[in-house]
Structure 1
Amino acid sequence: MRMRGRVRLVGAGVTAALLAPLTWWATRPGGADDAGSGGPRQVPADLGARDPHATPAARRVYALLAGLENRARRGEPTRTVIGQHVELHNERYNASYGDYRGTKQPGYYYKKAHDITGRFPGFVELDLGPGYGQPGWAVGEPRSYSRSSWPSCRDRWGYVDDAVDLALGVWAGLPRPADGSYHPSGTHLDCASGTRVSLPDNGGGPAGIVGFSFHQPYPGSTVKGFEETRYQNSPAAKDSGWFGRVVTQGTAEHRALLLDLGFLADHLGYLAEHGVPVLLRPYHEMNARPGHGFWWAGQDPAAYRKLWRVTYDYLVNSCGLHNLIFVWAPGAWEGTFAREPGDYYPGGRYVDVVGVDDYSDTPRRPFRGRPWTQVWYQGLERYDRPRAMAESFYVPLGSARHSTLSDTPWVLWTVWGQALTYANVSTPSGRNTSEDVRTTYASSQVITGGGGRSPGFDRTSLHTTYVYYFPTTSCSSELHS
């Protein structure tokens, strides 16, 4: 476990370079810088109000999102950062996943958006869990980040190393020959076939912003896999007091939680040390009906809020991770699977962005006949935070959805994994067409990433940036307790 603490940035042009992969939109007239000028209620414009030690890059990313939100609240033209979730563990290990049978190269769906449109997503979310049915978290094991053998092709937890490396490549650019992320030939080894294939070349400069979700198996689970994330497979299904012990300091269950969070911090810390801000989205869809969803869902709201605050305190205060932007994302509260989420909100001191995972309605059959996604967009307004479509099967524009980003100008819109090109079981007749994807990525309402015709992100290189890290706190003592 690396030591955590404050970061001092050193080197010529470091400040400009570190903040480079952010659109001009946040600082132009009417952006985040003058968000408090009156009119409709605005969201906070400075991440430092929540975390005084927030890194400059994290502040800049948040300012971008707050600026987009505040423009929408003032009724001014605004834009949406188009995002893509990458299920790298499925790409690496699950041959039945995706739009063809066979394992995929890491970042397949990040690159796929570019294959279709000529542009990369402006936001990429990856997952640091749940594992792949193997024991242990691999905390403290040597990492393969940024080695010449990218991807690592390491069994079990190798996909996590590759996810972190891809996140750095989205923020800083690919290829990065200086740090060994490319073989001299410009290709890398495909783990499944043993052949050499191309990395998703996004131009070698800052290309977008990144986030991580955390499908965390229940604390204390011997095996780490998706089945262990489910409520029905956790101790909560049989022991009504278990969840309370998880959030109670001094219990065995709480120590198991800290071990899990140590795994999370182990990887987020690497990105902190390299100046990468991260939108972190833990414990999502918490408002599911009791007995359904994930082990943290449908629980007593007060205990859930405590879980969130324990996690926040561990990562920010104990581990000194100030590169984080916290995203709270309930499931769409349509009344059957999920309930109204307000009681689960941890509070503005712990949340920077609010979002929704929306699988309850479709472009052709919107919920209650109102404009698609409008119920959730309006419902999140009261939290006074930038609003994000955190998970959706669909791109926002295309056939039957032309006005979506005008009616509901989310600051981020993230398409879930294989749904970009695959007719999901839940949406067999409603898949995205290639034309829908192209329409979305070409729209003037959308901010795409670098590596193509991108009006949204500055292409200044980060290669000259380096970081001296001065640890002031450590969470390493918690990892093996």
Structure 2
Amino acid sequence: MGLPRLSRTWTGALSCTVLVLTVAAACALEGASPGDRPAASGGQLGTVRALPPGAGADLLKRDPKASPQARAVYQFLADLEQGARAGKTPGTVIGQHIEAQNELYNVDYGDYEGIKGVGYYYKKAADITGKLPGFVETDLGPGYGQSSWGVGDPRTYSAGKWPTCSSKWQYTDDEVDLLAAVWLGHPRAQDGTYGTSGTQQNCDGSTTTIPDNGGAPAGIVGMSFHEPYPGSPVKSFDRVLCRNSPAATDPNWFSRVVDATHRTPEYQALVQDLSYVADHLQYLAEHDIPVIFRPYHEMNSTGCGDGFWWSGQKPADYQALWRITYDYLVKTRGLHNLVFAWTPVSWDGAPGVDPWNYYPGDQYVDLVGVDDYSGSPAHPIGTGEVWTKRYYDGLAAYKKPRIMAESFAVPVNSRQPDTLQRTPWTLWTVWGQSLTSGNLHPDAISNSNADVKASYDAPTAITGGAAAYSSSTDWSSLHVR
């Protein structure tokens, strides 16, 4: 079953001029009675605010048709960035990446052996701290060893295009539903997707239960795309790596992938892959859910070893890949619910080099960030440097909201307790299982429960959830018309 369209009441206006939600509380409704405020539970969105004039103006420069919801999310992050540049510490959204395919199919993944269920590491934060992440990112790719793209239950985006009830593809449906549950709140009484028990029966015989997050808007959402190389006969993470792609042996292969002029077979395979991610993003757009979309990250990795097939290529060819993706999603498919994030890997030479020549251009990018796997809280890169500061300062020239897109470590910990004060990223996302089951970098320390709790309890931490969860914000303030 798909998500139903929700009826909304359009009343009320924000009393403040921007959509920034303070760490203590959200902006108040001007002239609104208590009954106008969004319900904390029961699945009703309540009042949806009018978008303040000028909100998301920079996003509109990129996409004049950007949805009000996308503009609200962008403005929220832009205001956090503006406050940080003014010498304040307005807040950092604490995020969690979800490796849905591993949670559902890899019994060895995470902090115990066995199937976790999609959203396990979303809920794990609350198990430790009593608070949920304010941002959740899922990864539509890379697949789990199947021979072609597929989906779980029949949805509007399958429509005869992708095989349904396919083995090892239920996770894509589950993660799309998780994003909806974070933006809209779950459980929702009027949403029949999961029935009265909160559990959905899937056509492959499995069941899905999305974590309860309070029944009301509970945060913002994003999607990355670990795309197996175009034309790959198998959809799996190992086919995302450059060393397993044609790029490892054919120096001209990538140029053919981005050859839109001659519509090479490699280019057509790329478009086929983009149509898969576009169909899922469109499903979210149809339900008015804005998505921070983060494609082709870590493009500045060195060599063709552990880098992705799009990494270490000629900067002009990489920029062409980004433009093809942007034009297909926004212009061809009409997806105006997207906020585009460009995130190189840490550029200290291990594992990445300076990324500046890879930047696609302001007309294609809304957020800039870094995937930081170069150091650790115990051993930050650079003598005397504050952990992550090299990357925070390096991205400042773009004058866009800066995000820590991936990190094994939580920001506040016993080794670096003042990270969010010294480098107030607008968003800090922890990668998958590393929240509790240890980091993969040899120098890195594991996140203790105390460090996770310290990060979520930090004075400037912006967390998620509603009702029973101690969210630092009223996320329904981002639901606008």
Q: Same fold (TM over 0.5)?
A: yes
CA distance in 1, matches of 2:210, 2:350: 42
Corresponding residue for 2:406?
391
Aligned equivalent of 1:52, options 50, 55, 64: 64
Corresponding residue for 2:392?
377
CA distance in 1, matches of 2:165, 2:447: 31
Corresponding residue for 2:218?
207
Query: What SS is found at the alignment partner of 2:405?
Result: strand
Corresponding residue for 1:323?
337
Distance 1:46 1:333, change over 3 A: same
Deviation at 1:34, TM superposition (A): 11
CA distance in 2, matches of 1:257, 1:181: 32
Contact 1:130/1:216, CA 8 A, preserved across alignment: yes
Which segments of structure 1 move beyond 6 Å, counting only runs of 4 or more?
A: 14-17, 26-29, 32-36, 189-194
Distance 1:94 1:163, change over 3 A: same
Contact 2:409/2:439, CA 8 A, preserved across alignment: no
Deviation at 1:306, TM superposition (A): 0.5
5 Å-filtered alignment, 1:55-74, equals 55-74=67-86
Distance 1:378 1:204, change over 3 A: same
Corresponding residue for 1:13?
10
CA distance in 1, matches of 2:146, 2:254: 23
Question: Does 1:178 find its partner at 2:195?
Answer: no
Partner AA of 1:360 in structure 2: S
Contact 1:105/1:191, CA 8 A, preserved across alignment: no
Deviation at 1:45, TM superposition (A): 5.3
Query: What SS is found at the alignment partner of 2:224?
Result: strand
Corresponding residue for 2:39?
none
Partner AA of 2:293 in structure 1: L
Question: Does 1:80 find its partner at 2:92?
Answer: yes
Deviation at 1:181, TM superposition (A): 3.2
CA distance in 2, matches of 1:28, 1:449: 16
CA distance in 1, matches of 2:169, 2:436: 27
Partner AA of 1:294 in structure 2: F
Partner AA of 1:173 in structure 2: G
Query: What SS is found at the alignment partner of 2:275?
Result: helix
Corresponding residue for 2:277?
264
Deviation at 1:461, TM superposition (A): 11
Deviation at 1:268, TM superposition (A): 0.2
Question: Does 1:236 find its partner at 2:247?
Answer: yes
Distance 1:269 1:409, change over 3 A: same
CA distance in 1, matches of 2:11, 2:290: 15
Question: Does 1:367 find its partner at 2:367?
Answer: no
Query: What SS is found at the alignment partner of 1:349?
Result: helix
Distance 1:190 1:436, change over 3 A: farther
Contact 2:300/2:345, CA 8 A, preserved across alignment: yes
Question: Does 1:133 find its partner at 2:145?
Answer: yes
Contact 2:375/2:443, CA 8 A, preserved across alignment: no
CA distance in 2, matches of 1:35, 1:276: 20
Deviation at 1:178, TM superposition (A): 1.8
Partner AA of 2:366 in structure 1: D
Query: What SS is found at the alignment partner of 1:321?
Result: coil
Alignment TM-score, normalising by the size of structure 1: 0.84
Aligned equivalent of 1:343, options 333, 338, 357: 357
Contact 1:23/1:456, CA 8 A, preserved across alignment: no
- Which ranges of structure 2 fall in alignment gaps of 5 or more residues? 29-50, 158-163
Corresponding residue for 1:438?
453
CA distance in 2, matches of 1:230, 1:113: 30
Query: What SS is found at the alignment partner of 1:418?
Result: helix
Distance 1:352 1:197, change over 3 A: closer
Corresponding residue for 1:472?
none
Contact 2:20/2:75, CA 8 A, preserved across alignment: no
Query: What SS is found at the alignment partner of 1:371?
Result: coil
Corresponding residue for 1:155?
167
5 Å-filtered alignment, 1:216-365, equals 216-249=227-260, 250-292=263-305, 293-365=307-379
Deviates more, 1:448-457 or 1:245-254: 448-457
CA distance in 2, matches of 1:135, 1:15: 51
Query: What SS is found at the alignment partner of 2:392?
Result: helix
Deviation at 1:458, TM superposition (A): 3.4
CA distance in 1, matches of 2:83, 2:285: 30
CA distance in 1, matches of 2:379, 2:476: 39
Corresponding residue for 1:456?
473
CA distance in 1, matches of 2:167, 2:236: 14
Distance 1:16 1:274, change over 3 A: farther
Any idea what the Cα deviations from partners look like across 1:29-62, whole Å, max 9, x if unmatched? 9xx98999xxxxxxx8531121110000000000
Corresponding residue for 1:40?
none
Q: Higher relative contact order at CA 8 Å, sep ≥6: structure 1 or structure 2? A: 1
Aligned-pair RMSD on alpha carbons? 3.2
Query: What SS is found at the alignment partner of 1:245?
Result: helix
Deviates more, 1:453-462 or 1:376-385: 453-462
Deviates more, 1:95-104 or 1:417-426: 417-426
CA distance in 2, matches of 1:205, 1:52: 29
Query: What SS is found at the alignment partner of 1:325?
Result: strand
Identical pairs, percent = 53
Deviation at 1:99, TM superposition (A): 0.4
Corresponding residue for 1:426?
441
CA distance in 2, matches of 1:263, 1:137: 8
Contact 2:134/2:462, CA 8 A, preserved across alignment: yes
Contact 2:151/2:170, CA 8 A, preserved across alignment: no
* Count of residue correspondences: 438
Partner AA of 1:446 in structure 2: A
CA distance in 1, matches of 2:187, 2:119: 14
Query: What SS is found at the alignment partner of 2:475?
Result: coil
CA distance in 2, matches of 1:48, 1:192: 42
Partner AA of 1:104 in structure 2: K
Any idea what the Cα deviations from partners look like across 1:352-376, whole Å, max 9, x if unmatched? 0001000111111110120000001
Any idea what the Cα deviations from partners look like across 1:389-434, whole Å, max 9, x if unmatched? 0000111012111110111000000000000001133258611111
Contact 1:35/1:67, CA 8 A, preserved across alignment: no
CA distance in 1, matches of 2:241, 2:12: 43
Distance 1:28 1:170, change over 3 A: closer
Alignment TM-score, normalising by the size of structure 2: 0.84
CA distance in 1, matches of 2:12, 2:223: 24
